[in-house]
Structure 1
């Protein structure tokens, strides 16, 4: 009979293992010596040690599920409890008990981790829903649409919650996307209608602009083009495929008209600048007639200047007041000279002046005689009163004599 600290073989070849509960039969060995029998069952024990060690490592270092780990522990425990190995089976049981505790710890850790991940996923999904509902009210169609698509991708990458919570949040999320899509569709449908109306309006404006492009009614047509431009801006944009073509036609029609007008105005401006030069020469010639010394020759010379002046035509608007003002000044000087000559040579006016002068002279002579008479009589008060009256009549007489002198009297 051979023995070992953990087992023995009796004379019949039966192999025993020692446990806390006493010896347990391991098996029977008839093929060799007792030492070989013990060595065989010790190797089986070492195999169990290796398997338990591997399981411990898997539990500690891999994501082996608690269920699979427990199944593996149970399988090893069955082998240990079957007593088909020689060794410290209690130590193996203790290690398996520790493994069960470790598996349970890992189970709780993973449960807590899953709960944490679920809370995080719930928070993340609630944040996605809140943002989606905010975006559903946005008018930034492109940016909001792109962001909503990005939120969908983010949602897909998040863990699922319990079915009820996940379905409720997904319903809100999906509803927000649908509401945004509906508003965007309505917006662009309305925009399409507006752009179609803008296209009809602009086609009408283009037709009128092209009809006006050959007009030579410069002022009213330019004003109408300004009105057309205001109407164009107020119409809004047409569809992109029509807008540029319509604008090019509209602008092209204006360019034809304004280029023609510019050409005509440039020619007119050059002509008016030359007219101004000629009129300045004429007004300089006319100004030499002032002061008037010979009315007849001055009148003839001015008539000649004026005839040439009228034949010249228009000058630039901003220069017109100055040059015409100079000409009018010469004309007024001639008129004043003519009026003075008329007064001097008018027989009726001369007769009236002579009559008035004679009346005033008679009144002055009479008053002078009355003053002398009052002095001789010693009536100084009357003399002074008459003297004052005499002074006033004398002033009128002097003025009348001056006027008479203008008639050559």
Structure 2
């Protein structure tokens, strides 16, 4: 005989499960030991636990319908009530009872949600109808027409109401759109005279555009075409049967001019691209002069490079700063070398540097003598003060000596 807290196996191999209503027969086991029997039916219990857990998760996290959920709960309850497992079956029944309550609550929640959505859809469609009826009186033909089309798209995206309510609201909505369309047609019927005036104005614009199409005065003509386009837009639309033909002639004349201009500009761009390549080669040749060892030779070489540079011509505007910057770098290096050479060979500057060095050397020697005297007299404080002063003078002397070396002395 074997047992655990929720079940046991008697001497005959009968397996029992303990419930709140007392022991219930689970089944009979003859194939192995009592422990194996309990383990088998405990595994069946664990299987029920897993299935109930999965159903709980589906109910809480998915859109499982109430009907499908109830069916699944009933199936699991039948298995629990069959007592073919060893474990806390009462706890499983309690979980299934709670799941039934949850499913019912979700069903009511969804019902309320559907009612809310229907109410919201009603209010939304009533608002669309009210706006459409207001727009029906508008004289802003384009804006109001676009807004009415937008309202139709919004209407199509809303849920349907009950048939009577939906039909009544749609009738009002459609009537408002029809009223607007009728007023707009009447308005545009009055524009025929204006369209004839626009046709005559555009005929004059086309004639001028065609007369300019062979011009080679690129800047002024392009500016005039922009003005003609502004006048074209301000003239309004001609009758439909004339508008497209006038536009094709007007645009065609511009296309002839701009195509010719583009061809000329393309040739210019190709030439400037080739110029850029040549200037980059010259910049590379100039950069090879660095670092400058022979100033006179470098200056002469750079002069020759610069003369060839000036003879080349324009390069693309966006590439100009970079390639010119490379030449300027070499030119600055030459200027700095020339200034250094001048400083090195300038007798006045050399004399001033030598004089300053001599003065500083004398001051350093004097301080050293004063320091020795102070230490001989046992005046340590004065000696330390003079030593600090000596450090500063020595630094100035070192700097002056370095500058003097630059003059070759």
Length-normalised TM-score, structure 2: 0.54
Which residue pairs with 1:371 in the alignment? 371
Stretch moving more, 94-103 or 347-356 = 94-103
Stretch moving more, 204-213 or 43-52 = 43-52
Q: Aligned in 2, Cα 1:234/1:401: closer, same or farther, shift over 3 Å?
A: same
Aligned-partner SS, 1:281: helix
Moved beyond 4 Å, runs of 4+: 1-186
- CA displacement, residues 88-144 of structure 1 (integer Å, 9 cap, x when unaligned): 999999999999999999999999999999999999999999999999989999999
- CA displacement, residues 298-332 of structure 1 (integer Å, 9 cap, x when unaligned): 00000100010011001122322222222222112
The CA RMSD measured in Å over matched residues stands at 29.6
Length-normalised TM-score, structure 1: 0.54
Q: Aligned in 2, Cα 1:192/1:334: closer, same or farther, shift over 3 Å?
A: same
Stretch moving more, 313-322 or 358-367 = 313-322
- How far has the Cα of 1:247 moved from its partner? 1.5
Q: Aligned in 2, Cα 1:220/1:66: closer, same or farther, shift over 3 Å?
A: closer
Q: Aligned in 2, Cα 1:283/1:56: closer, same or farther, shift over 3 Å?
A: closer
Stretch moving more, 315-324 or 276-285 = 315-324
Return the alpha-carbon distance in structure 2 between the equivalents of residues 45 and 368 of structure 1.
104
Return the alpha-carbon distance in structure 2 between the equivalents of residues 4 and 283 of structure 1.
96
Aligned-partner SS, 1:374: helix
Return the alpha-carbon distance in structure 2 between the equivalents of residues 45 and 394 of structure 1.
97
Which residues in structure 2 correspond to 1:21-170 (within 5 Å)? none
- How far has the Cα of 1:386 moved from its partner? 0.8
- How far has the Cα of 1:210 moved from its partner? 3.3
Return the alpha-carbon distance in structure 1 between the equivalents of residues 2 and 386 of structure 2.
190
Q: Aligned in 2, Cα 1:236/1:408: closer, same or farther, shift over 3 Å?
A: same
Q: Aligned in 2, Cα 1:163/1:14: closer, same or farther, shift over 3 Å?
A: farther
What is the total number of aligned residue pairs between the two structures? Answer: 409
Q: Aligned in 2, Cα 1:232/1:362: closer, same or farther, shift over 3 Å?
A: same
Q: Aligned in 2, Cα 1:387/1:259: closer, same or farther, shift over 3 Å?
A: same
Aligned-partner SS, 2:190: helix
Return the alpha-carbon distance in structure 1 between the equivalents of residues 10 and 188 of structure 2.
97
Return the alpha-carbon distance in structure 2 between the equivalents of residues 11 and 169 of structure 1.
79
Which residue pairs with 1:207 in the alignment? 207
| Structure 1 unmatched runs, 5+ | none
Q: Aligned in 2, Cα 1:378/1:225: closer, same or farther, shift over 3 Å?
A: same
Q: Aligned in 2, Cα 1:191/1:367: closer, same or farther, shift over 3 Å?
A: same
- How far has the Cα of 1:170 moved from its partner? 26
Return the alpha-carbon distance in structure 2 between the equivalents of residues 281 and 64 of structure 1.
76
- How far has the Cα of 1:21 moved from its partner? 99
